[in-house]
Chain A
Amino acid sequence: MIGGLFIYNHKGEVLISRVYRDDIGRNAVDAFRVNVIHARQQVRSPVTNIARTSFFHVKRSNIWLAAVTKQNVNAAMVFEFLYKMCDVMTAYFGKISEENIKNNFVLIYELLDEILDFGYPQNSETGALKTFITQQGIKGQPQTKEEQSQITSQVTGQIGWRREGIKYRRNELFLDVLESVNLLMSPQGQVLSAHVSGRVVMKSYLSGMPECKFGMNDKIVIDKQGKGGTTDEPGKSELGGSGKQSIAIDDCTFHQCVRLSKFDSERSISFIPPDGEYELMRYRTTKDIILPFRVIPLVREVGRTKLEVKVVIKSNFKPSLLAQKIEVRIPTPLNTSGVQVICMKGKAKYKASENAIVWKIKRMAGMKESQISAEIELLPTNDKKKWARPPISMNFEVPFAPSGLKVRYLKVFESKLNYSDHDVIKWVRYIGRSGIYETRC
């Protein structure tokens, strides 16, 4: 189990130090600083073993979070905990920065006491935590005795993520499908690897203890229904759009509120949702991905001192949709001494500090095309090494799910209170972002 948890700033100074077990000495703090933070290695393993002590770390901007243990723990669990810890901190005070950590150190110690007990992770659900760890900024009304006893029963009860007696005047529900699409393409346009990792994030403001059921165009479910010959339920097509009928999900994980037994037997996703924002599920698909953009590179070396680059991007989705925040990053050789760029749309600039030409376009509709051409001057060097030609990468945001996922329904049942599925206002949104979206040149 986790023996201790330290938070460092970029210089390696300790901001937070919480030791849970006696086998972790004071010198462990220094060992990590000396061997990991101050070691200037380029590629770092997230797990480091120093003197029979394991250090698991994650980095958020300039802040290092390190979990320390002397035992043979489940590394995935430790990292899951660290990520959760980051989420909790973000939920409490926003961005994880040195300033914020210093300002909220009392809160952080209080949180650490709550979510780790003798090194064993406890309830780290932000919603639940916020009910009883209430530092300034979080609603500060003093709680009644009754409420306090409720907290106890909630935290220790069967449904730890939702307290009873929640009431809303308007029952509302927001559902976001967030996907990031990853691609590696050859210069000739051949897809070398592609996958989408997506998340379904929900924000619910529902009264009572509602029972929800979530449906999407999962291939297995659709096929089963097709075989069974049942007709579509009336509510099905109102949320879903046109396009592919079903998608094959490679793997998925759920929030703890989802009843896994039901998923295993019927492949239906039913749950009692936590109050507020949470991530319902994560999934990954690799088949039939809609690639929103196609990048066509053209690189020509003119002698030893000049390089001509032309890049065309084509948007490949419905013309009615608009892609946003488009950024194309064209790497330049390490001996670039000057760059001239011409582009028809957007703005392009040579960024010397990153050895790349960065081309930004604010908006672009579907089925359009745009191009950039650049002349790169090179300085002759003594090095005989040839330029490795790193791939051209791209960033963007599109208003649909590149995996083809569609939400078919989300039904809410609350038997005790008098509102039905129809009374709940539901909002669905799809956002597709670029992950590592690269084209070789």
Chain B
Amino acid sequence: EEAEKRANMPAVSKGDGMRGLAVFISDIRNCKSKEAEIKRINKELANIRSKFKGDKALDGYSKKKYVCKLLFIFLLGHDIDFGHMEAVNLLSSNKYTEKQIGYLFISVLVNSNSELIRLINNAIKNDLSSRNPTFMCLALHCIANVGSREMAEAFAGEIPRILVAGDTMDSVKQSAALCLLRLYKTSPDLVLMGEWTSRVVHLLNDQHMGVVTAAISLITCLSQKNPDEFKTCVSLAVSRLSRIVSSASTDLQDYTYYFVPAPWLSCKLLRLLQCYPPPEDGAVKGRLVECLETILNKAQEPPKSKKVQHSNAKNAILFEAISLIIHYDSEPNLLVRACNQLGQFLQHRETNLRYLALESMCTLASSEFSHEAVKTHIETVINALKTERDVSVRQRAADLLYAMCDRSNAKQIVAEMLSYLETADYSIREEMVLKVAILAEKYAVDYSWYVDTILNLIRIAGDYVSEEVWYRVIQIVINRDDVQGYAAKTVFEALQAPACHENMVKVGGYILGEFGNLIAGDPRSSPLVQFNLLHSKFHLCSVPTRALLLSAYIKFINLFPETKSTIQEVLRSDSQIRNSDVELQQRAVEYLKLSSIASTDVLATVLEEMPPFPERESSILAKLKKKKGPGAVSVNELEEGKREGGELNGGGERGGDSSSTPSPSADLLGLRAGPPVTAAAPSAGSLLVDVFSEAVKQPSPTAFLRLFVCKNNGVLFENQLLQIGIKSEYRQNLGRMYLFYGNKTSVQFVTFTTTVTCPGELQSHILHIHTWNSLEPLIEGGAQVQQVINIECLTDFSDAPLLNIKFRYGGALQNLTLKLPVTINKFFQPTEMASHDFFQRWKQLSLPQQEAQKIFKANHAMDTEVLKAKLLGLGMALLENVDPNPENFVCAGVIQTKAQQVGSLLRLEPNAQAQMYRLTVRSSKDTVSKRLCELLAEQF
């Protein structure tokens, strides 16, 4: 916008050269040291101060000059604390250059000094209402550059009017559209939708391309928030697009960029269309498809220019069009064509194009129409993975391989990814490992292949194999008895390597401990050989692995009684039984006793084979999702979920619940929680089965809020670990809330902290929250603790405060955020009144904004008693015999806030036949009516 300002600046007249400024700047440039520069600046500042202080009034030119100097000094990094007044004076000048400098200073150095803001706003208002387009533009640019809340408050109403007024100049319209966009982005609540919205949509038809380009940015942003109000823009956008696409490159003169007609506008139009589903109107849709086809056709044409700008512009439109095609996902023909086009780009010499092609193809692969087409490029993609020089491109190639994988090519892809893993960049190894693990699991037909793959994975990139991966392989081996023997054999072979990764030892220890008997027949892998092999790795491992190996040893005693004495010897050795690590020592002692005291029957029961794990969403998948952030893979996953639904695991719970966290205690045997013996005991089964993919399901924080509108007590939240109960009481504008935190597990929660925050505005003046008796940081297993929160309502509010809970359970950090059920209706005082009074007040509150009405379908059965109870729970007085229709309910109450009292009247009209309600709320404050109406509409 600065550049635009300068471009708009009329030719500099003689007096405007500002020699003094030029001299000052060149002085500064010539300074030999920082100290000299500071001296020069101090001198200049003193000079300006004396000039501003002087009794003589300064003329506009000198004012401008000094303000310019101040601005320059500020931009050099010095504080400027005066001159604002002079700058504001410049705003009212009639000369463009003076006004411009004034605005420039204001936009760079504005501070929320109330007095000045009023003056500035006044000057801006004057300029906005002047008929001079340059002045209007300057004012609009200033509003946009400052973009503060104060500005939005002052002008959010005015700018839409300028934007849609018939007599506004084109250049002003452009600025107004962009200015409004900026205000909407900073304070969306202040830009109210109104009748102007429909007229904004029609700006898409404007003659002036600049106006269309500016307006479309605004419309795209607005329609993302209010898609319904801007629905009409789709057909307009399509017709505009078709006009541009079909125009010859010479038609649009100024808006043709290197032979491409209006590329920016085209991209924005395509992006706007991506906010909406495919148009339902056949004609519109036909026209759009035609456009997209033309764009794809144009990509095939030979370039009109060798300049890079030409191909960039062309490709920008093409990629945007492809995103739209993918977004619609309904035109097989287009999807395949897009895929072929991208295939050509895969071999382009421009790295950026290859990157973009891989990225777009990734999304194309998830569409059922183009999946096959994408698969044809597998060789190219594999090649890219191997030869690309840029790691980000390789990453995309890996993503695409993952996305295009299905049963037919899984083996090839997994093999390629495995071989790539050996040379892969460190930054993407962990993700690659997860992907390989998932693909191997998902498309495994033959479980021996799966086991081979995962063991290979651990061999190649053991450091990057997270716990989830090897948990998963064990989980699967235990659940599939057909693969157990093979697994034991392979693991045994893998362990024979002189150096193997610790993760391999873990898998080996676990599997041999469970299924070592399956290969014990072979003299080459006799029990003692197995044990010696495992024990040879023992000393090189970390404590958790050693603990696991000890458990494997005790299982060996059960499986092969002939190894008992050897193993007991090992357990009895000082390095075990007197180990400095408590866990290892305890295991050694207990296993030793167990093996020597318990009879074989008891031993066999205690050390029975692990029971199968219940099927759930793969914990690896959850991990990958978490790594990439929600949304990044979810499209893919859901898509695959549909197609491949439960191929391997018989359709467990799979879904979009991407906020699940990995298991709180990742100890495989669940041993950290209790003594090792109980781990294998059936009673601990419930604890065990959950360790793999137990996830604390986080409800959306608002879910529970709805339940508490009409009641004050109840359970706010509950999961496997924690229950939060709530009890609250309200009087006048004060409230007190008791929160009860119950630990449902048998393990203590440590570092338990809760914080109550009021997000955004709520904090500053609406709701005052004060907690007492801060909690102890420890909650013992099964115990309950209480917290009290005092609430004061200052003025009416609509949002709810947030309660954040953090604690550690078995080492894993749990983090919950809930909304506290504090709603405006809690501060109701019931008011009894007669029929006459009621209708009189009802009429008094007849301004249109004081009323809020909603018609909605009943969610629950329409039982009169239940309705009555709910309305009473709301806190208002339920008035009998007031409404002429006995079916209807009327209520009255006063909301008590510290600032004011808001009287409210309510009328609920049920319609039993249609199963609908009409709810009308009138109150002396419009925000209250609206909020009450919203709250109540969800209740019935």
Using CB atoms and an 8 Å cutoff, list the residues of chain A in contact with chain B.
10-11, 40, 42, 62, 334-338, 352-355, 377, 379-383
Contact = CB atoms under 8 A, between A and B. Distances in A.
A-B interface, 9 closest residue pairs, ranked by CB to CB distance from nearest: A352-B46, A337-B53, A383-B81, A353-B39, A353-B43, A337-B49, A381-B81, A381-B82, A352-B43
B806 interface: no
A62 B32 contact: yes
B39 A382 contact: no
B81 A336 contact: no
B42 A353 contact: yes
B20 to A, nearest CB: 16
A352 B42 contact: yes
A161 B284 CA distance: 100
Nearest to B51: A337
Contacts of B39: 353-354
Contacts of A381: 81-82
Contacts of A338: 50, 53
Interface residues of B, number: 22
A380 B46 CA distance: 13
Interface of B: 32-34, 39-40, 42-43, 45-47, 49-50, 52-53, 77, 79, 81-82, 84, 111, 113, 116
9 contacts: A40-B77, A42-B34, A335-B81, A337-B53, A352-B43, A352-B46, A353-B40, A379-B82, A382-B111
Given A40-B34, A352-B46, A353-B39, A382 B53 contact: no
A354 B77 contact: no
Contacts of A336: 46, 49
Given A335-B49, A383-B81, A354 B32 contact: no
B427 to A, nearest CB: 23
B247 to A, nearest CB: 52
A337 B50 CA distance: 4
Contacts of B46: 336-337, 352-353, 355
A179 B39 CA distance: 30
A335 B47 contact: no
B33 A377 contact: no
Contacts of B77: 40
B33 A10 contact: yes
B111 to A, nearest CB: 7
A353 B27 CA distance: 14
Nearest to B52: A379
A221 to B, nearest CB: 45
Nearest to A9: B32
B81 A377 contact: no
Contacts of B52: 337, 379
Nearest to A40: B34
Nearest to A41: B34
B36 to A, nearest CB: 9
B85 to A, nearest CB: 9
B43 A382 contact: no
Given A354-B39, A354-B42, A381-B81, A10 B49 contact: no
A380 B116 CA distance: 14
B34 to A, nearest CB: 6
Given A337-B46, A338-B50, A382-B113, 9 more contacts: A40-B34, A335-B81, A337-B49, A352-B45, A355-B46, A379-B49, A380-B82, A382-B84, A382-B111
Contacts of B45: 334, 352
B34 A335 contact: no
Nearest to A383: B81
Contacts of B32: 10-11, 62
Contacts of A379: 49, 52-53, 82
Contacts of A334: 45, 81
B82 A382 contact: yes
Contacts of A353: 39-40, 42-43, 46
A62 B31 CA distance: 11
A379 B47 CA distance: 12
A262 to B, nearest CB: 46
Contacts of A377: 53
A265 to B, nearest CB: 49
Contacts of A42: 34
A10 B32 CA distance: 6
A353 B43 CA distance: 4
A355 B53 contact: no
Contacts of B33: 10, 62
Given A10-B33, A377-B53, A379-B52, A352 B81 contact: no
B332 to A, nearest CB: 57
A335 B45 CA distance: 9
A367 to B, nearest CB: 37
Nearest to B40: A353
A338 B77 CA distance: 25
A143 B752 CA distance: 87
A312 B39 CA distance: 27
A11 B30 CA distance: 11
Most buried by A among B34, B49, B111, B116: B49
A240 B136 CA distance: 84
Contacts of B116: 382
Contacts of A62: 32-33
A352 B43 CA distance: 5
A359 to B, nearest CB: 18
- Which has the most chain A C-beta neighbours within 10 Å: B33, B34, B45, B116? B45
A353 B46 CA distance: 8
